[in-house]
Structure 1
Amino acid sequence: MEQASTLVIGGAEDKVNGLEILQTFWRRAGGEDARLGIIPAASGEPAIIGGIYQRLFENLGCKSVQVLDVREREQSEDPHWLTRLRDMTGIFLTGGDQLRLATLLADSPLLDALHFYRERGTLTLAGTSAGAAAMGYHMIAGGGNGECPHPALVNMAGGLGFLPGVIVDQHFHNRNRVARLFSAVVMHPECLGIGVDEDTCAVFEPTGELQVVGRGTVMILDAGEASYFCEPQPHSTTPISAHNLRVHLLRRGDRFDVERRRVLPPVLRHCPV
């Protein structure tokens, strides 16, 4: 069975009006038959944030919604997660601090269970803000903005590995994070940089293509055919030099082949996802 879709949300998704992104996740996870788990582990107020998303998805008409309130490392080490997640059709990782999220989940039975059911094709996964940032093996844990790209501008750490070939940044244009994504990709040129705006979602399909949903844009930064890099020294503030990087800016309905690294014809702009 093919693995399920993964939704990478730039944060601040609409929770009041059209709820386009949340409805997209809800539909992908089964609609009225959806059985969802909310993991607010990244948040400093997990009970409040978990409750907000629980009510939102209950109002959409989910069959069941549970908050998986993991606050201590020992909780993610519970060997029974494979059984607990067996009947769930969707998992939503909330915002907060991606380093906290990765510390709580990395190399744990909970993370192993999420990978197992996602790869089996029975679990749709979504992450917003910090939950989006943690999707790759290489994770932007923090950094500055408003400067030229340089290695010290971005702090890298290990992520959750759901999308191993990408580095995700979120609240992207809204918080002027272009330079830090450039810095991260130059240090890891084998990865695609994915910068996702607020109220915008990059839907990674099992087929290997990405599709954009929401009101903003997704920037894709590809260093795979770059002809030159300066040698970036860790923690250096010397500006980065890199030639022949490829940049794509995608909006709602645009598609991208992640495996072949090429833009695909867009779907109809108003076609439901």
Structure 2
Amino acid sequence: MNFAPESILRRFCDELKGNDPLVLVLPIASSEPKEAAEDYLRIFTDLGITRVQMLDIREREEANSEATLKLVDDAAGFYFTGGDQLRLTALLGGTKMLLRLKERYTYEEILIGGTSAGASALSTPMIYQGLNDAGFRKGEISITTGLQFMHDVAIDTHFIARGRIVRMAQIIATNPTCMGLGLEEDTAVLVRDGYQLEVIGSGLVTILDGVECTGNNIHEIQPETPFTIRDLRLHFLGEGETYQMPIPPELHL
């Protein structure tokens, strides 16, 4: 599902700061931006947001324009729709828009959310290619740098339904500093201060933590060979559960 349920979007609206906040719907990941944004524009309006607007970027120059930066400065909430996460990083990486958004996210109380590709791109390592049930062999998934709103966290969506736990484990094996965050459909996490998580929605959130793993051979094996990682910690969390990532908050500045 590439559309967030109303209950999660309602919580998004409840967390917005300021009077009459502006919400920007960003269908940048989609090849059909108007269609991707349409339902969000409607539901945010139905939830009482009087100022909601689509901001689409098709060329990198648009992400550097003064008109775009003005909207980024004025908005209190930003919501990335689904699509192709590689489109997000290729179009926004290194632009004035992304830099301004990161500055505001670091120093102001704005809210950034996303669904499917829009959620996956918010992390630091980002999966952009790989079969759902693959990943147990070295090199079966492709990883690049995401938009980096969450440091040392890899986000994957449709996690349980599409059997994506093994491919997330391979990301952690390549660098156990990274934590895996798997989101199931109709499920989200609210992140405060860059490291405190609260689960919302009707499904499960899966957390993979490899910081204290005791064995890992991915640096020794050849491509297309199954990898090993020992003592990988696994958590399944339902609605209302909280989790504090083992990352000092000052590293998120």
Task: Give yes or no for TM over 0.5.
Answer: yes
Matches of 1:96 and 1:57, distance apart in 2: 20
CA deviation profile, 1:229-256 (whole Å, cap 9, x unmatched): 0034698221111111111111101110
Residue number in structure 1 paired with 2:236: 249
SS at match of 1:99: helix
Maintained 8 Å contact 2:16/2:77 = yes
Letter in 2 for 1:247: L
SS in 2 for 1:152: coil
Deviates most, 179-188 or 192-201: 179-188
Structure with larger RCO (C-alpha < 8 A, sep 6+) = 1
For 1:13, give the aligned amino acid: A
TM-score (norm 1): 0.85
Aligned to 1:268: none
Distance 2:221 2:69 in 1: 39
Give secondary structure in 1 for the equivalent of 2:74. Answer: coil
Percent identity (aligned): 33
Is structure 2 residue 220 aligned with structure 1 residue 229?
no
Partner of 1:109: 96
Number of residue pairs matched by the alignment: 248
In structure 2, the residue matched to 1:214 is: 201
> CA–CA distance in 2 between the matches of 1:117 and 1:66?
19
Asked if structure 1 preserves the Cα contact closer than 8 Å seen for 2:137 and 2:224, the reply is yes
Counterpart in the other structure of 1:194? 181
Name the structure 1 match of 2:63: 76
Distance 1:68 1:234 in 2: 45
1:144 aligns with 2:135: no
* Unmatched segments (≥5 aa) in structure 1: 1-9, 262-273
Instruction: State the alpha-carbon separation in 2 of the partners of residues 147 and 38 from structure 1.
Output: 32
CA distance in 2, matches of 1:89, 1:233: 47
Identify the residue that residue 88 of structure 1 maps to in structure 2. 75
Cα distance in 1, alignment partners of residues 194 and 54 from structure 2: 30
User: Retained in 2: the 8 A contact 1:209–1:259?
Assistant: no
- State yes or no: 1:64 paired with 2:55: no
Task: State the match for 1:132 in structure 2.
Answer: 119
CA contact (8 A) 1:220 1:248 kept: yes
Determine helix, strand or coil for the equivalent of 2:73: coil
Runs (5+) with no aligned partner, structure 2: 249-253
Task: Render the CA deviation track for 1:123-179: whole Å, top value 9, x for unaligned.
Answer: 200011001111122111120122462222211011101001100010111111111
CA deviation profile, 1:43-79 (whole Å, cap 9, x unmatched): 0100111122111101111020010011112211224
| Cα distance change on mapping 1:61 and 1:32 into 2, 3 Å | farther
1:122 lines up with 2:109 in the alignment:
yes
Q: What are the within-5 Å matches in structure 2 for residues 156-175 of structure 1?
A: 156-175=143-162
Match of 1:258?
245
Shift of 1:187: 1.2
1:24 correspondence with 2:11: yes
Task: Give the letter for the 2:29 counterpart.
Answer: A
Query: What is the DSSP-based 3-state SS (H/G/I as helix, E as strand, rest coil) of the residue aligned with 1:203?
Result: strand
C-alpha spacing 1:106/1:207, structure 2 compared with 1 (3 Å): closer
Partner residue of 2:41 out of 35, 48, 54: 54
Within 2, Cα distance between the matches of 1:193 and 1:34?
32
**2:23 equivalent in structure 1:** 36
Q: State how far apart, in whole Å, the 1-side matches of 2:187 and 2:25 are.
A: 19
Provide closer, same or farther for how the CA distance between residues 180 and 231 of structure 1 changes in structure 2, counting only shifts above 3 A: closer
The aligned counterpart of 1:6 is none
Amino acid at match of 1:216: G
How far, CA to CA, are the matches of 2:221 and 2:163 in structure 1?
22
Q: C-alpha separation between the residues in 1 aligned to 2:131 and 2:149?
A: 25
Deviation digits for residues 200-258 of structure 1, max 9, x if unmatched? 00111127310100011111101100111003469822111111111111110111011
TM-score normalised per structure 2: 0.91
Matched, 1:13 2:10: no
**Cα deviations across residues 88-109 of structure 1 (Å, max 9, x unaligned)?**
1100011000001110110101
Secondary structure at the residue paired with 1:95? Answer: coil
